[in-house]
Amino acid sequence: METEYKIWDPSTGIHLGPITLHYYSLMFIFAFGLGYILMTRMFTIDHVNQKYLEPLFTWTLIGTILGARLGHVIFYQPELFKQDFWSVFLPIQTKPEFKFTGFSGLASHGATIALILTTLYYSYKIIKKNPFWVYDRLGIVVALGGAFVRMGNFFNSEIIGKPVAPNSPFAFLFPQMSDEYGITVPRYPTQLFEAIGYVLLFILLWVLYRKTDKKYQQGWLFGLFFIILWAIRFFVEFLKEPQGDEFIQLGGLNTGQVLSIPFMIAGLIIMLYSKKNKIAPEADKTF
C-alpha cells in the first residue's frame, strides 16, 4: 500500500545551554504577546485610554492559567487532588520526587469560565464598561491565541487524533506518543485542524469588528465567537483520542463535546440578547 503519512518527531524546544525553551511555553508567550498588541490596537480604534490595558492583561493571564489548570484537573484528572495536591496549582510535581514541570494539563473550558469571571471584575471595578464590550474584543484575541495553544500541543505531540489510513493526506505519525498508545500508527493531526479553524474564526471576527457596526451591538461578536469556537471543538473531538479519564460521557459524546454544548447555547442566547444592547459610537469612548 502506498503511504503518504508524515513523521512528526520534533525536539521539545530550543536548547540554550542548560536552559530549554519549550515550544509549548513559547506558543503561550506568542499568544499573550500578540493578544496584547491586538488589544492595544482595538483600544486605540475605540478611543479607550491605554491605562486600562495592563490590568486587563494581568487578569486575563491569571484567569487563563488558573482556570485552564483547574479545569483540566476537575474534568480530566480529579485524582490529582489526592495524589499530588500542590501540582494542581504550581508548575511542579512533588511525588514521587520533586521536579519542575512547568504548567501542563490545561483545559480550554476551565480557562473560559475563569476568564468570564475575571473579566466581570475588570469590567465593573476597573474599566467600568458593560462586560460584553470587553468580551467582544477579548473573543477576537482568544480566537488567535487558541490557535497558538494548539500549535503548542502539536509541537508536544499531544491531543492527537484517532488512527487514519496510511495513504490519507491527513496521516501523521507521532512517535513520541508510543509509550501512551503503544505501536505508532498514522493519526489525524487534530491539533492542526483546530488551529486552522481558530485562525479562520479570528479573521472573521476581525473583519466584522473593523468593517461592520456589530461592535456597537454589545455581545454580538462574543456570542458568534462562542458558537463557532465551541462548534469547532465539538466536531474535531470526533477525530480525537480520549484525553485522560473522560469525566463526562453522554450519548456517545466525550467530555469535551458535552462541555462545549452549553457554551454554544450560551453564545446563541447572547447574540439574541445583543439586539437590545446597542450603543452609539460616541458612547464607546473611555478616557
Q: What's the pLDDT tens digit per position in 151-201?
A: 999 998 888 899 999 889 999 989 887 666 667 889 999 999 999 999 999
Task: Note the pLDDT of residue 151.
Answer: 94
pLDDT band of residue 108 (cuts 50, 70, 90) is: confident
pLDDT at residue 244 tops 80: no
Stretch 197-219: mean pLDDT:
96
**Preceding omega of 96 cis (within 30 degrees of 0):** yes
| Contact present, 274 and 223 (Cβ < 8 Å) | yes
pLDDT at residue 280 tops 70: no
Of 8-22, 71-85, 123-137, where does the model show the most confidence? 123-137
| Contact present, 150 and 142 (Cβ < 8 Å) | no
Using alpha carbons only, what angle is made at residue 230 by residues 221 and 167, rounded to the nearest 5 degrees?
125
Task: Note the pLDDT of residue 79.
Answer: 78
Task: Note the pLDDT of residue 82.
Answer: 79
Stretch 11-16: mean pLDDT:
81
Q: Label the pairing between strands 172-173 and 6-7.
A: parallel
Dist. CA 224–CA 208, nearest whole Å: 11
Q: 150 among the known binding-site residues?
A: yes
